Amino acid sequence: MNFNLSSPHADMWEYLAGSDKSIVMYGMGNGADKILAVCRRYGIEICDFFASDGFVRGHSFHGKRVLSYSEAKEKYGVENMIVLLSFASSLPDVISNIKRIASECELYSPDVPVCGEKLFTLEFARTHKEELEAAYALLEDEQSRQIFENTVAYKLTGDITYLFKAESDKDEVYNSLLHAETIRTYADLGAYNGDTIRELMSYSPVLSDIVAFEPDRRSFRKLCEFCDTLEDTPRVERVNAAAWSEDAILTFGDEGNRNSGLFAKGKAIDVSATSLDKILDGRGVDYIKYDVEGCEREALMGSARTIAEHSPRLLVSLYHRSEDIFSLPLQIKGMKADYKFYLRRYPYIPAWDLNLICL
């Protein structure tokens, strides 16, 4: 594994804490709040907030009037300011605009985990060096290893150029790795509104039976509305519950979007949780997708029997927690030693849509 733990930028937070430039934040909302909390821990002052030109409406954020990008440049000067990106996007036009700003200013995209409080800092990487190396050693091909190295480098530095070196083609994942044209049975853990079912249907003409987990009540309603539009196939068994290791009642963020999950700090409700093994009751599936907002560890535990007995193809999200990039591959290796591991990541800022494929 090749990443430099001695570079002066190897820990973005320490670098920012020691910088004498003016630090301004691009974006507002929940993402900005999480980054601000970390900045406070490190004693990093945020001088201002800005939005893209044309999106400024005179509103304020944390007591400061939100500037336009042009105003921020005029106030601080591109050579004297650091931009912290505080939102996520996979939209090509948004990413193109971020690249344009990065070409004019020093820009970083902090890696703040979706779940949990552990930051992927230099200290964290050194503490978990053996686990990182063990997970890296599991990877089957050079593309996987390059994605791993560049993702780790991004997490440490916040430098988005590493993300652009760690991008994959979705067609290659479905066609060359998963061989989706042969997938007949599918378990979708984190089905949201049916978007990933629709996606798989476009690659798999023989898809016939699906088990779909979705705990969020509003997303589950949309999932059911989508499933009602399907004809006889594929048949979808709908489970309004969180994928977990056992039957349980869990506290869940009642947000109604694709990021709804456990451990939310806003409005919360109790939801049912159950295991895939219980729902399948001995039946096998060809393919399981895990995108359960930080509960991948428990969802995998609840699939142990299915994995051991039927060896389904797996796609597991590795980006919700800082430790996911090494802990989940090692967990699966312990569950099924003969799996082959591939790492792929679809275009996104920050390092979201990082997926482990197990065959």
Kindly report, residue by residue over 186-235, the tens digit of the pLDDT. 999 999 999 999 999 999 999 999 999 999 999 999 999 999 999 889 99
Per-residue pLDDT at 260:
47
Regions of the chain with pLDDT less than 70: 1-9, 253-267
Distance between CA 258 and CA 218 in Å, rounded?
10
Rounded CA separation 314/266 (Å): 31
Name 94's Cβ contacts closer than 8 Å, sequence gap at least 6. Answer: none
Exposure string of 251-275, with b = 16+ CB inside 10 Å and e = fewer, is ebbbbeeebbbbbbeeeeeebebbb
pLDDT tens for each residue of 77-100: 999 999 999 999 999 999 999 999
* pLDDT for position 322: 97
**Amino acid identity, position 210:** I
Q: What is the pTM of this model?
A: 0.93
pLDDT at 59: 84
The reported pLDDT for the residue numbered 275 is: 98
Q: How distant is the alpha carbon of residue 353 from its chain centre?
A: 5
**Phi, psi values for residue 327, rounded to 5°:** -70, -40
Instruction: Decide if 288 contacts 187 (C-beta within 8 A).
Output: yes
Q: At what angle do helices 142-157 and 324-335 cross, to 10 degrees?
A: 140
Backbone angles phi, psi at 165, to 5 degrees: -90, 0
- Among 345, 301, 299, which residue's Cα sits nearest to residue 319? 345
pLDDT at 36: 96
Round the average pLDDT of the chain to a whole number and report it: 93
Query: Which domains does the chain carry?
Result: 12-164 (3.40.50.20), 170-317 (3.40.50.150)
